[in-house]
Amino acid sequence: MAKPKPPVQPGDSFELTVTGLSHTGDGVGKTEGGFAVFIPLALPGEKVRVKVTKVKKTYAHAGLEEVLKASPDRVEAHCPVFEACGGCQLQHLAYPAQLDRKRRQVEDAFKRLGGLDHVRVLPVLGMEEPWYYRNKAQVPFGRGREGTVAGFYAAGSHQIVEFDQCMIQQLPNDRTIQRVKKLAIELDIPPYDEKSHRGVLRHVLVRTGTNTGEVMVVLVTNGAYLPSHKRLVTRLREEIPGLTSIVQNIHTKRSNVVLGQENRVLWGKPVIVDTIGDIRFVISPHSFFQVNPVQTKILYDQVKKAAALTGKETVIDAYCGIGTIGLYLARDAAQVLGVESIPQAVEDARVNAEANGIEHASFEAGKAEEIMPRWAEKGIRPEVIVVDPPRKGCDPEFLIACTNMSPDRLVYVSCNPATLARDAAFLVERGYRTEEVQPVDMFPHTNHVECVTVFHPA
């Protein structure tokens, strides 16, 4: 039997009413025949003219040709490269509307993916000044027609989009990237070429300690050889205010992962220091540290509120990174136990505990889904468990170990509403309940949203 032909073809151009926004921030509409079309840069409620670019079995992608009737929430994007760059997805949507949309996205995930219709999703806690917030930039280098280029990838591709100033990066990050780029050209440091796997400079990672002013530069190189590295170090030290650390990271694999395993300190400290509240943190190049410091404080205060500590509790901080949440809560707890898979981050967590004079916190390296069942078997019974997994959420083995420990409160911090809703449904099946979710906008102008939810025994 012949396959049914999709009702649209690449190149087709037609008018459409946009009815929704996908989780990646694309406008979504349907053709008269009910075929779904995804249109980047189109907004719900708009009437648009689109041109089909790609057709799949059940949906198509299209480019926005013309907005025939604009949404009242449409605004002019501030950034000149917004449409080309894949870094932000929502600059064309007014900030209050972005927050509203993120709230509804979480609500939708709980209903559709979790089957938890009763859960109330509170208004998203947004930023007063939703610009120049990121403390970390990871910028790929490559070779363009006119030589070295550095910028962010275009959406869904590895084409580098250059920028003079990124409107969601803190200014020292921008300045540092532009300096490194200028010096790489001046000192003839060849950029890496993904196709041939040749060249030297792959990525530059910059981290700024927002509250300390410290700046770390990590030069990711395709091998140990970094030409002119002495001159590069001297010039960077002269030209970058606040610079405290220059690290070379050696990464010889063909891979989309930014960092390789090996770090060599070229100058200064191997770590950078920043603070959240009155706790100091050292951060290694490989360690996770929340990228929006203003909102991190708000997020962690929500965790603190949900944990409702009295000083007597044992707290487990699972997926603890450099111990941030556990140490933030430690003064109100009897004991903190952290688990984290990256050994370097666990080292940082231990150093951080000591540097802050916190003696009742300990950290173990390993996978949460392996360590937690072991802790449960050993009879560890925390009153409070905090979990903050990566986007893929928690492993069922881990959640089973959590409920076996029967904590009074399980505080779930999530950067992905879909896996949060899935894991929430699992926890509900295993005798826990939740009433509310508090989203926090850690990533203005992007399609990401962070949530805090607390579970109690049902």
Shortest separation between residue 389's beta carbon and ligand SAH, angstroms: 6
Q: Are 384 and 407 in contact (CB under 8 A)?
A: yes
Q: Which of 115, 213, 390, 396 binds ligand SAH (CB under 6 A)?
A: 390
**CA neighbours within 13 Å on the CB side: how many for 290?**
29
Does residue number 345 form part of the binding site for ligand SAH (CB under 6 A)? yes
Q: Which of 46, 274, 348, 388 binds ligand SAH (CB under 6 A)?
A: 388
Number of residues in contact with ligand SAH under rule CB under 6 A: 18
Does residue number 368 form part of the binding site for ligand SAH (CB under 6 A)? yes
Q: Which of 341, 362, 404, 406 binds ligand SAH (CB under 6 A)?
A: 341
Shortest separation between residue 288's beta carbon and ligand SAH, angstroms: 4
Segment near ligand SAH (CB under 6 A); pick from 97-105, 172-180, 202-210, 341-349 = 341-349
Spell out the long-range contacts of 189-197 with Cβ–Cβ below 8 A and sequence spacing 24 or more.
189/226, 189/227, 189/228, 189/232, 190/143, 190/227, 191/141, 191/142, 191/143, 191/148, 191/149, 191/150, 192/141, 192/142, 192/222, 193/142, 193/143, 194/142, 194/158, 194/254, 197/222, 197/254
Instruction: Consult the annotation and say whether 65 binds a ligand.
Output: no
Spatial distance between the Cα atoms of 397 and 399, rounded to a whole number of angstroms: 6
Instruction: Consult the annotation and say whether 95 binds a ligand.
Output: no
Spatial distance between the Cα atoms of 449 and 89, rounded to a whole number of angstroms: 13
Does residue number 245 form part of the binding site for ligand SAH (CB under 6 A)? no
Show which residues are catalytic. 415
Residue 48, CA distances (Å) to 40, 91, 216, 250 in order: 11, 18, 45, 47
Does residue number 40 form part of the binding site for ligand SAH (CB under 6 A)? no
DSSP string, 27-48: EEEE-TT--EEEETT--TT-EE
Backbone angles phi, psi at 221, to 5 degrees: -120, 150
Instruction: Consult the annotation and say whether 340 binds a ligand.
Output: yes
Q: Are 293 and 210 in contact (CB under 8 A)?
A: yes
Segment near ligand SAH (CB under 6 A); pick from 63-71, 106-114, 177-185, 335-343 = 335-343
Spatial distance between the Cα atoms of 296 and 136, rounded to a whole number of angstroms: 14
Contacting ligand SAH within 282-301 (CB under 6 A): 288-290
**Could you give the dihedral angle defined by the CA atoms of residues 374, 379, 381 and 387, in that order, rounded to the nearest 10 degrees?**
0
Run of H or E including 324: helix 324-329
Q: Which of 127, 320, 336, 437 binds ligand SAH (CB under 6 A)?
A: 320
Shortest separation between residue 397's beta carbon and ligand SAH, angstroms: 10
Instruction: Consult the annotation and say whether 98 binds a ligand.
Output: no
Shortest separation between residue 39's beta carbon and ligand SAH, angstroms: 32
Amino acid at 200: V
Shortest separation between residue 149's beta carbon and ligand SAH, angstroms: 30
Segment near ligand SAH (CB under 6 A); pick from 48-56, 153-161, 337-345, 427-435 = 337-345
Spatial distance between the Cα atoms of 280 and 235, rounded to a whole number of angstroms: 29
Q: Which is nearer to ligand SAH, 41 or 454 (CB)?
A: 454
Secondary structure class of 58 (helix, strand, coil): coil
Segment near ligand SAH (CB under 6 A); pick from 135-143, 187-195, 270-278, 363-371 = 363-371
Spatial distance between the Cα atoms of 274 and 389, rounded to a whole number of angstroms: 22
Q: Which is nearer to ligand SAH, 158 or 391 (CB)?
A: 391
Residues annotated within the binding site for S-adenosyl-L-methionine are 290, 319, 340, 388
Binding site for ligand SAH (CB under 6 A): 288-290, 319-321, 324-325, 339-342, 345, 367-369, 388, 390
Residues annotated within the binding site are 290, 319, 340, 388
